[in-house]
Structure 1
Amino acid sequence: MSQAVLNPLLITEAVRAALIEDLGRAGDITTLATIPAGKRASAVIAARKSGIVAGLPFARETFRQYDPSVRFEAAMSDGDRLEPGAIVARIEGEARSVLSAERVALNFMGRLSGIATLAAAYVAKAAGTKAMIVDTRKTTPGLRAFEKYAVRCGGAGNHRYGLDDAILIKDNHVAVAGGIRPALQAAKRQAGNFVKIEIEVDTLAQLEEVLAEGADIVMLDNMSVADLTRGVAMVGGRMKVEASGGITLDTVAAIAATGVDMISVGALTHSASVLDLGLDIEIA
């Protein structure tokens, strides 16, 4: 998979907002009260647990925005695997600046590294199959681009970024539209040449309707492994097949082995634990 990239302007704005939120009206009054101006410090960001690192550009930008004189040197790259005790970055500068920017930098890195780590675990479970692990739109409001970036750092892929990316006809759309075929026919009239059409089905009988009408992708939602296997056979390569619905690390390997093309996992972004990273400081 290609290296994950992210528009640096998005990082700049997100970091600015986070610093404003954390510093409040008066700044870091604890550090201002206890640390003399001009005192220097060096520090490292180190891993407390194993995982996949993500968010280094956010940490770098945090220290840069707070104090451009702080030196930030990454010892790893986003997407790298780390073990407990691994040094992720080295920081040197005025102690007040290092301490005041610390939490924002670690918040970004911990959250994004946790997502990358969980994504990598799912990818490992699907290894040896053609199934691509992808995320969903179940992201933290305002942080979607960053969380989806972290998914890519973990070796998985992205589903839709938003409602304007592709047409995805869910069960509620089908119900209101009056059925699978009317929904697909209406979507085809609306879609442009570059817009993919995907539709969700819950049963193999519904899949037969989709095959009769045609779509680009069919989502087999909350189906058993046996039904997924039959569904892939029924499609026979005529469209891409996605499996979805409550997929866990315990079930993903069997689902991947059914021959589906994609497995969408909301847990990548809505249930990832923060990866434990810490900033260890030494006063120069």
Structure 2
Amino acid sequence: MVKEPQELLAFLLQAIKHQGRNAIKSLLGRGQISVNGRVVTLYNHALKPGDSVSVSREKIVEKPPLMGLSILYEDEHIIVINKEAGLLSIASAQETDLTAYRQLTAYVRLENPENRIFVVHRLDRDTSGVMMFARSEEAQQLLQNSWQDAVKERTYVALVEGKVRKTEGTIKSWLKESKTLRMYSSPYPNDGQLAVTHYRIMQTSSEFSLLEVELETGRKNQIRVHMQDIGHPVVSDKKYGSKSKAMGRLGLHARVLSFDHPITGIRMRFETEIPKQFLNALRDVRQST
């Protein structure tokens, strides 16, 4: 019986003396821990005085493997993932099965069939990196209503064609969408959605530049359009002018996402590695010259 407010993992570490932290996390992952008769798999589930915690000898939850994504963080309100290139964020008319959204919905429903996932923002199919979903409608609404204020850092790395001359710069334009669903910068001020992109050079070779790109606004295909606008399209981005076949994937990765938690207000920051393919493409060029 729980006597004071605390997280589930902390309670279990105190209550099960002969088990280590990893062993207890395994019990949680296999659905062997119940709170008030309900299976709970979140290690940071908040316990209240009077709650009853029980341990089952049998595995209840066998979580399926997640394809094309890994979970960086989850709690009762949000779930943060690292998405691989090639995986859709949410369903499109062409594909309704393998998406991050559908996989995560199945994942959270193993804990409770009524659990849901809510879309907060998206990454293009061929863009990899950090992405967040909400686990409650309240969290989704709070994030979407204050996205510009809640997000403190949203940084990408882009491998682009050619040697960018300016060490750093800012690209500003008004984005519109054509009838063929292709975004472009309008030549007229205030004609479309304002898009502002900041970049700085991280590495260069004779054929490519690796840029750190920070979004001031988050428009559809913003980085891809802006890189084409300055004459340095993202590698493998045929839609926006790339001629290079240096990689079998788009040269764009959402590396950092930092935000204030919608419920607790705590500042959170998630950073991933630069994809090896980006660095290899730069290295291969240097070695061949």
- What band does the TM-score fall into relative to the shorter chain? under 0.3
Report the TM-score when normalising by structure 1: 0.24
Instruction: Please identify which structure carries the higher strand content.
Output: 2
- Larger RCO (alpha carbons 8 Å, 6+ apart): 1
Report the TM-score when normalising by structure 2: 0.23
Instruction: Please identify which structure carries the higher helix content.
Output: 1
